[in-house]
Amino acid sequence: MRAYRVLIPAVALLASCSPSGRSEAQPQLVEPAPRALPASALAVRQSFAPVVRRVAPAVVNISSKRMVRTQVDPFFQLFGLGAPRDRVEGSLGSGVIVRSDGVIITNNHVVAGGQEITVALNDRREFPAKILLADARTDLAVLKIDVPGERLPVLAIDDRGDNQVGDLVLAVGDPFGVGQTVTNGIISALNRTDPSGAPDSGAYIQTDAAINPGNSGGALVDMDGNLIGVNSFILSQSGGSSGVGFAIPAPVVRRIVETALGGAHAFVRPWLGARLQSVNPDIAKALGLATPTGALVADVWPGGAAAQGGLKQGDVVTGVDGKAVTDAASLNYAISTHKTGETAKLAVRRAKGVETLTVRAEPPPTSPPRDERVIAGRNPFQGATVVNLSPAVAEEVGVDPFGAKGVMVLKTGSGAAQQVGLRPGDIIRQVNGRAIKTTGDLAGAVSVPARIWQVVVERGGQQIAVTLQA
C-alpha cells in the first residue's frame, strides 16, 4: 500500500463564533539555555516529567472556524426542493507560545481560511486570536492573543542547529481533541525533503514520536525543553501515526516569528538566483565526485545574488556557512534562513578545487512589474486575475522562475474564464495571433471585439491551442 503525506489537524463541525483580539508588542523572544546531553544511561532512563512540567504550559489548543456553503443537487432545485445552506466548519490543532505577551506559532493549515480562531491555554482559559502572518509554503502561521498585564509561559526557539540523529525528543500537542498529550521518541533523520515533492522543502526533522491528527502546530522539544521544531505532517497508510512524523525546524520558525513581529504580513524568502539540480550518482560520476552530494548550478539569473557572488553554471555547491549541502533543497533552505542583507559563505567545487564565495541574501527581483489586473469585457478571459511573471511572483506561486515568463492566470473568478476551462497557473502565450508578453498586451488584445478567439496557453510545460466562439 502507498503511504500518504497527511496534514494533521483534527477536523470538526462547529456552531459559534467569537471576535478577534487586539495586538500588543512587548517582550522579546526567549533564548534557549545551553544544551546538555544525558551524561549516562541512567540519565536517559529517568522520567521526562521535569521537561514536561516546563514545556506543557506553553503548548496550547487552537480551534479555527469558517463558514462553508453546502451545495444542493441541481435536480432537486428544479422542483424547488432545497437551497444552499451555510454551515460552520472547523479544525482543531495545537500551537506554541513563543513570547510572553501572547505570540503563538502554529501550522498554517490549522488556521487557513479561518474566520474565527480561538486559543485555549493549558489552564483551559480561552482567548480569541488574530493572525499576524500566515505562510502557506512553510506551513507556519503566527497568532496573537491579548493577555493584558500577564506574562504567559513560553518556549525558547532553539535554532542553533546542533540537533543530532538519535537525540531524544518529546512531541506535545492535542491529538484528536482529547486534551494535551505528550509522546516521546528520537530524531530519526535530519534535513528530510517533503516526500510529496514540494519545492524548497528541505531540512524537515523526522521523528518517531507519535504524532496524530490534532498535533499539527504542536511542539517538538529536546531534553532541555527548548523548541526545536513545529510538528507538521506524517506519512501514513491509515491516517494515524506510523512513526514517521515531520517537524518544521526551529531556524524557519524563528524567521517567520521575527518577520511577523517586525510588522510584515508576508514572508519574503531570500532568493539565490540560481537554478539548481541535486547531484545524483550519474552526475557525480560525470564530474568526478567521490560521493553524490551537493547542488549543481544549472543556470544563473543575470544580476541575481548568485551572479553577483561569482557563482557560475557548472559549479557544485557543497556547503553553506560551514555546513554540508546534501542536495538542491537543502541549499535553498540554508539560504532562506538568512535575513535580507545578510551574507552566506558557499563552498563551491570547481575544476581547480574548492573555492569559497560570498553571496548576499536578497529577495527575488520584481522585474517586470507585477501589474495585476482583472480582465473585463466580452472575451474568454473575462473575470480572470492575471499578473506579469517575475522571479518574485514565480516564488510566490511556486513555479520555476527560469522557465515561467509572460502572463499568468492567478484566479479565474466566476466569469467566462472559468467557463472556458482556464486554470490558475496557466500562462497566456497568444490571443488571435498576437504574442502576449505583459498584462498590457493581454488587455490590448481583448479590447478588440471578435467573434472567434484563437488562444494559446501553456499548462504544465505544454502549449494548448483552442478556438472559441463569442
Condensed to tens digits (0 to 9), the pLDDT of residues 395-411 reads 888 788 887 788 999 99
pLDDT of residue 17: 41
CATH class for the domain made up of 373-469: mainly beta
The letter for the amino acid at 267 is: F
Q: Which residue has the higher pLDDT, 239 or 104?
A: 104
Q: How confident is the model at residue 21 (pLDDT cuts 50, 70, 90)?
A: very low
Q: What is the DSSP string of 371-387?
A: --EE--SSSTTTT-EEE
Q: What is the mean pLDDT of residues 319-348?
A: 90
- Contact between 100 and 85 under an 8 Å Cβ cutoff? The reply is no
The whole-angstrom separation of Cα 285 and Cα 304 is: 30
pLDDT digits (tens, 9 = 90+) for 447-458: 998 889 999 999
pLDDT of residue 184: 93
Q: Burial of 137 by CB count in 10 Å (0-12 exposed, 13-18 middle, 19+ buried)?
A: middle
| Weakest mean pLDDT among 69-73, 213-217, 249-253, 265-269 | 69-73
Q: How confident is the model at residue 120 (pLDDT cuts 50, 70, 90)?
A: very high
pLDDT of residue 243: 80
pLDDT digits (tens, 9 = 90+) for 164-177: 999 999 999 988 77
The whole-angstrom separation of Cα 111 and Cα 88 is: 14
The whole-angstrom separation of Cα 94 and Cα 8 is: 10
Q: What is the pTM of this model?
A: 0.78
Same fold, 6-30+51-155 and 373-469: no
The CATH fold assigned to 168-260 is: Thrombin, subunit H (2.40.10)
Q: Burial of 125 by CB count in 10 Å (0-12 exposed, 13-18 middle, 19+ buried)?
A: exposed
pLDDT of residue 179: 83
| Weakest mean pLDDT among 251-255, 329-333, 379-383, 408-412 | 329-333
pLDDT of residue 40: 64
Task: Point out which residues pair with 205 in neighbouring strands.
Answer: 247
pLDDT digits (tens, 9 = 90+) for 270-326: 999 999 999 999 999 998 888 999 999 999 999 999 999 999 999 999 999 998 898
Helix-strand-coil percent breakdown of the chain, rounded to 5? Answer: 15, 35, 45
Q: How confident is the model at residue 23 (pLDDT cuts 50, 70, 90)?
A: very low
The whole-angstrom separation of Cα 161 and Cα 336 is: 15
Each domain of the chain, given as residue ranges in start order, spans 6-30+51-155, 168-260, 274-360, 373-469
pLDDT of residue 1: 41
- pLDDT above 90: residue 446: yes
CATH architecture of residue range(s) 274-360 = Roll (2.30)
Q: How confident is the model at residue 161 (pLDDT cuts 50, 70, 90)?
A: confident
| Weakest mean pLDDT among 11-15, 42-46, 103-107 | 11-15
Tell which CATH classification among 3.40.50.10800, 2.40.10.10, 3.30.420.270, 3.90.1650.10 matches the domain 6-30+51-155: 2.40.10.10
Instruction: Tell me what the pLDDT averaged over the chain comes to.
Output: 85
- Strands of 279-437 (E only): list them: 295-300, 316-320, 323-324, 343-350, 353-360, 373-374, 385-388, 407-411, 427-431, 434-435
pLDDT digits (tens, 9 = 90+) for 188-242: 998 887 766 555 556 899 999 988 888 889 999 999 999 999 999 888 766 667 7
Taking the CA atoms of 280, 285, 287 and 293 in sequence, report the sign of the dihedral they define: positive
- Contact between 56 and 172 under an 8 Å Cβ cutoff? The reply is yes
Which residues belong to the active site?
109, 139, 216
